[in-house]
Amino acid sequence: MSSSGREADLAVVSDAARPDGIDLANADPDGTLTTVEDSPAQWRHAAELAAAVRVDPVAARSVLVTGMGGSGIAGDVAGLAADLSGSVPVVAVKGYTLPAWADPDDVLIAVSYSGNTEETLAILEAAGQRSIPVVGAVTSGGKLAAAVAGDRTVIVPAGRQPRASLAYLGVPVLVMLARMGVIEPPDDQLEAVPAHLESLLQGWSFDVPASDNPVKQVAKDLVDLVPIFTGGRGLGALLAYRAKCQVNENANRPAFCNTLPESNHNEVVGWEQLPDTTARFGLVELRTPDEHAQVARRFEVTRELTADTFGATASFTAPGATWLERLAAGVLWVDLLSVYLALLAGVDPTPVRTIELLKQRIA
């Protein structure tokens, strides 16, 4: 596969040298890579912050978790937790309006990193109009912190990008759900996550040369391609969505995601034509050790049927003994991949100028 002459390796960092032409201080001046590699500390700190939240057991019909973008994925994580061990549905609400069926039998958790996300505040207002209890919130401040004050709110560190704060935003929601009696307590799983990530970073971090770093190897294969991330229903699908969003924002390039087995019932046919176009896409499988046996088979057969379709293919299986370890490992892998893609392409992984312009124009 051609890399258009870009052969930079993202190799070993030294204090004095620029690794293969990449001066990290200039390429990533706001330290997005450092933030990603600091994930173990973030998971540890998030659990400490969440421990102080006060949420009482409730008999709710469902739990609505509202949030957008990097904050909204907290609702997806909460929904996955409920699918695995929940007693009632947990529904991620992304947008300005509540479902028509939502009423006082349901409860709401609001998540907004800035505290000023207009969609989330609109949902909060709508919940008040329908007398839907707001049982908790996660934010760094803003209007949300003022609206849901007290020990029902977890205040997380400010000054970060929401997309780099998944643990800060997601862990408190899981703890709230556990204290409400909706999911099994995640305490033991959470305690094991930081050490798990620290172990993985020994092979994935920027200091590890591409010859020994599987994340960098995938980034090199995808550097000139549009990635399509595919995961099985559940955790795999969540990681595929996370990967798409992180590549969009960190690497400033198109990326797409889909889910097996659903995509085998439609999208797989769409790759039969336009070979010059399909060769510009790279297929990345995001897998889990506990995926359904037939999903595993579908990954294999899909790869065989599309062997000559894509410009590159790659596969990653999220390691871990529990679903939370696998989630954290998968998030770390896709976040690193997105930053490595940015660095290889000479893109600063922090700014999201188009999002800021969009917010200004609709304000």
Q: For the chain, what is the domain count?
A: 2
Backbone φ and ψ for 12, nearest 5 degrees, come out as -65, 135
Q: What is the pLDDT of residue 15?
A: 38
Q: What is the pLDDT of residue 353?
A: 86
Looking at the structure, tell me whether residues 56 and 164 fall in a common domain.
Answer: yes
What is the set of active-site residues?
249, 265, 359
Say if CB 36 and CB 334 are below 8 A apart: no
CA–CA distance, 228 with 161 (Å, rounded to integer): 24
Looking at the structure, tell me whether residues 218 and 160 fall in a common domain.
Answer: no
Helical (H) or strand (E) element with 107: strand 107-112
CA–CA distance, 279 with 285 (Å, rounded to integer): 17
Domain of residue 161 covers 39-185
Task: Please list, in sequence order, all residues whose beta carbon lies within 8 angstroms of the beta carbon of residue 335, skipping any fewer than 6 positions away.
Answer: 36, 39, 164, 242, 246, 250
Say if CB 171 and CB 43 are below 8 A apart: yes
Looking at the structure, tell me whether residues 181 and 212 fall in a common domain.
Answer: no
Domain boundary among 136, 159, 185: 185
Sheet holding 134-139, edge to edge: 90-93, 63-66, 107-112, 134-139, 153-155
Looking at the structure, tell me whether residues 144 and 284 fall in a common domain.
Answer: no
Looking at the structure, tell me whether residues 228 and 284 fall in a common domain.
Answer: yes
| Average pLDDT across the chain, whole number | 92
Looking at the structure, tell me whether residues 23 and 111 fall in a common domain.
Answer: no
Asked whether residue 358 is domain-assigned, the answer is: no
4 band by pLDDT with thresholds 50, 70 and 90: very low
Looking at the structure, tell me whether residues 313 and 227 fall in a common domain.
Answer: yes
Distance of CA 213 to the CA centre of its chain: 21
Asked whether residue 10 is domain-assigned, the answer is: no
Looking at the structure, tell me whether residues 150 and 215 fall in a common domain.
Answer: no
13 band by pLDDT with thresholds 50, 70 and 90: very low
**Can you give the CATH number for the domain in which 46 is found?**
3.40.50.10490
Place of tokens 């978790």: 65
Looking at the structure, tell me whether residues 150 and 201 fall in a common domain.
Answer: no
Which candidate, 177, 207, 169, places its Cα nearest to that of 68?
Answer: 169
Looking at the structure, tell me whether residues 139 and 199 fall in a common domain.
Answer: no
Each residue of 91-102: pLDDT tens digit?
Answer: 999 999 999 999
Looking at the structure, tell me whether residues 338 and 294 fall in a common domain.
Answer: yes
Q: What is the pLDDT of residue 17?
A: 39
